[in-house]
Amino acid sequence: MKETIQKFIKRYHRWLQLGLTILFFYVLFKRFPFASCLDLFNTIHISLLMLGILFLALGQVCYGLAWQAILKILGHHIPTSKTINIFFQSIFVNNFATFVGGDVFRGIKIYGDAENKFNVGFSLLLSRFLMLFSIVWIAGGAVFLWGKFLVPGAWFPILGLTVFLFFTTFFIGFKRFSFRRKRNFKSWLEQFFQKFSERSAVVQDNYLALIFVFFWNVAGHFCGFLVIWIFGKSLTIPLALWQVILFLSIVRLIIILPVTVNGLGMREVGFVGLLTRLGFQQIEGFSLGLLASAATLFVSFFGGLLLLFDALQIKNKG
């Protein structure tokens, strides 16, 4: 029975996510006709839109630099240009895999060049954890300051479920990434924790570099806040930057849940629900969320072009 369920999830989970994404948008567009969104989109300031997309790309660069810094701590040096290239490609992969699919893709891209294979997986785990850790602190502060607008205690199960699913999914991905299927799970787990503790000690000895990694993650988050603030200005939605930090940090935790494809649909629902509590109209929240999703897809397809270019280069060399 267990194996049957696992095979079903492995084979059909992407279709389930796609179905839920379509369902989310069907319900949203039934409630908010696209014509209503067009009324806002017709007033959009193109220059501000392009500026927002630029900051969106800059935020991804910051996350990529954080991962590069972790690799340097572990003694694996890769050029900055290659790091950013791989990171943008992984954003594209996230559209077609679970939210750690892009992380596993990054690992595979540099796996063959790494002297220590475990360091690659450890760098992915640590970079994602620090990214999550920093946004949890920001979201926690937001909830503390904004508690009167939320259902008391509602964010605790959301946060707990998010963290649980993150580590569960990443642990499964890490096991697959190790390429040691012939070994039994117990021996693999023992070796995993032994190596994990060794790498953790290395990282702790470089705490100043770790602070630098945390800084890049926070810079990436702040770029994301600026993106939504600028998009709001482009749609003439009078959002203050502190309001964006309050609701977006919570939305970012929600969309980590692997329910829909790359958070599509869930992002819009979060924008509508939280912006309404801030006194904005529901159609404004939906339009802003829709614009944010479209911009995210646009930047991710830039990574798809880089991936295609790499594939063509490999084909020509072959």
Q: How many residues does the chain have?
A: 318
Going from the C-alpha of 115 to that of each of 68, 137, 307, the distances in angstroms are 16, 34, 24
37-42: Cβ within 8 A, 24+ apart = 37/283, 37/286, 37/287, 37/290, 40/235, 40/236, 40/283, 40/284, 40/287, 41/235, 41/287, 41/291
Please return the burial class of 181, using the count of CB atoms within 10 Å of its CB with bins 0-12, 13-18 and 19+: exposed
User: Closest Cα partner for 228 from 248, 250, 256?
Assistant: 248
User: Looking at beta carbons, which pairs linking 11-19 to residues 24 or more positions away fall under 8 Å?
Assistant: 13/98, 14/96, 14/261, 17/258, 17/259, 17/260, 17/261, 18/261
- pLDDT tens-digit readout, 9-54: 556 566 777 777 888 888 888 888 777 778 788 888 999 999 999 9
Ramachandran sector of residue 262 (left: φ over 0; alpha: ψ -120 to 50; beta: rest)? left
Q: What is the average pLDDT across 160-186? A: 52
Burial of 178 (0-12, 13-18, 19+ CB in 10 A): middle
Q: Is the pLDDT of residue 191 over 70?
A: no
Treating both helix axes as pointing N-terminal to C-terminal, what angle do 117-145 and 46-73 enclose, rounded to 10 degrees? 130
Which of 294, 295, 286, 297 lies closest to 37, judged by CA? 286
How large is the average pLDDT for residues 78-101? 81
What pLDDT, in 10s, does the model give residues 50-73? 999 999 999 999 999 998 888 888
Lowest-pLDDT range of 24-28, 191-195, 215-219: 191-195
Identify the pLDDT of residue 4: 60
Residue 227 confidence (pLDDT) above 80:
yes
* pLDDT tens digits, one per residue of 232-244: 999 999 999 888 9
The confidence band for 144, taking pLDDT boundaries of 50, 70 and 90, is low
Instruction: Read off the pLDDT of residues 90-139 as tens digits, 9 standing for 90 and up.
Output: 888 877 766 567 777 887 777 665 556 677 777 777 777 777 777 777 77
Q: Is the pLDDT of residue 182 over 50?
A: no
